[in-house]
């Protein structure tokens, strides 16, 4: 082989080696690009999954809070209803008890007692009542000594005071 052909073979070998280096470098860059792309996609997928989980947890938390609030509201309404029923029962029992406690023959005495308590609480009325009683007793004393013509007056006073 001649020198020219050897140089040519060497040059071809060098060119082929350079092309091989470029091809490997190109493949390496392409592989890096693909890896980077896959890594970006994986990060995005992970971020979306994380965000989805966070949103789901928030939604579940809101639902849990809503259910808890509804449960507390329901319990409060039930307690209020039971309290109203209890108060109603107690008032009814108290009313029945008050009616049962006083025998019929003493009801009039109870009314008189209420009147006495009211008079004690209102001393000006009590004083007026005492004056009326005094006037009544004086009128009765006078009427007993009066003549027969005053009989109508005596009866009317007795009707007023009795």
Residue ranges of the chain whose pLDDT lies below 50: 145-162
Token pair belonging to 57: 């947890």
Q: Say if 113 falls within a structural domain.
A: yes
Whether the CB-CB separation of 139 and 121 falls below 8 Å is answered with no
Asked if 39 and 46 touch (Cβ cutoff 8 Å), the reply is no
Decide if 61 is inside a domain.
no
Q: What share of the chain is helix, strand, coil (3-state, %, to 5)?
A: 95, 0, 5
The range of the structural domain enclosing residue 121 comes to: 107-137
* Predicted local confidence at residue 100, as pLDDT: 57
pTM of the model: 0.37
Q: CA-CA distance, 48 to 40, in Å (whole number)?
A: 12
Our count of domains for the chain comes to 1
Q: What angle, rounded to 10 degrees, do the helices at 104-121 and 123-145 form? A: 110
Helices (H), the chain: 3-101, 104-121, 123-145, 151-161
Q: Is residue 111 assigned to a domain?
A: yes
Instruction: Please tell me the predicted confidence (pLDDT) of residue 63.
Output: 96
Residue 150: inside a domain: no
Answer whether residue 123 is part of any domain.
yes
Residue 160 lies in a domain: no
pLDDT of residue 22: 95
In a domain, 131, yes or no: yes
Place of tokens 């003493």: 106
The answer to whether residues 154 and 143 touch, using CB atoms and an 8 Å cutoff, is: yes
């Amino acid at each position: 082989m001649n020198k020219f052909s050897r140089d040519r073979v060497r040059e071809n070998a060098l060119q082929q080696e350079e092309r091989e280096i470029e091809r490997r470098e190109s493949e390496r860059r392409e592989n890096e690009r693909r890896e980077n792309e896959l890594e970006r996609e994986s990060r995005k997928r992970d971020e979306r999954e994380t965000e989805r989980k966070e949103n789901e947890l928030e939604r579940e938390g809101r639902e849990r809070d809503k259910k808890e609030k509804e449960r507390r509201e329901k319990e409060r309404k039930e307690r209020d209803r039971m309290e109203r029923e209890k108060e109603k029962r107690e008032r009814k029992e108290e009313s029945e008890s008050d009616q049962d406690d006083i025998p019929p023959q003493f009801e009039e005495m109870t009314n008189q007692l209420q009147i006495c308590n009211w008079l004690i609480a209102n001393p000006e009325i009590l004083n007026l009542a005492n004056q009326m009683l005094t006037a009544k007793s004086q009128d009765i004393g006078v009427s007993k000594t009066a003549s027969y013509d005053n009989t109508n007056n005596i009866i009317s006073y007795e009707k007023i005071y009795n």
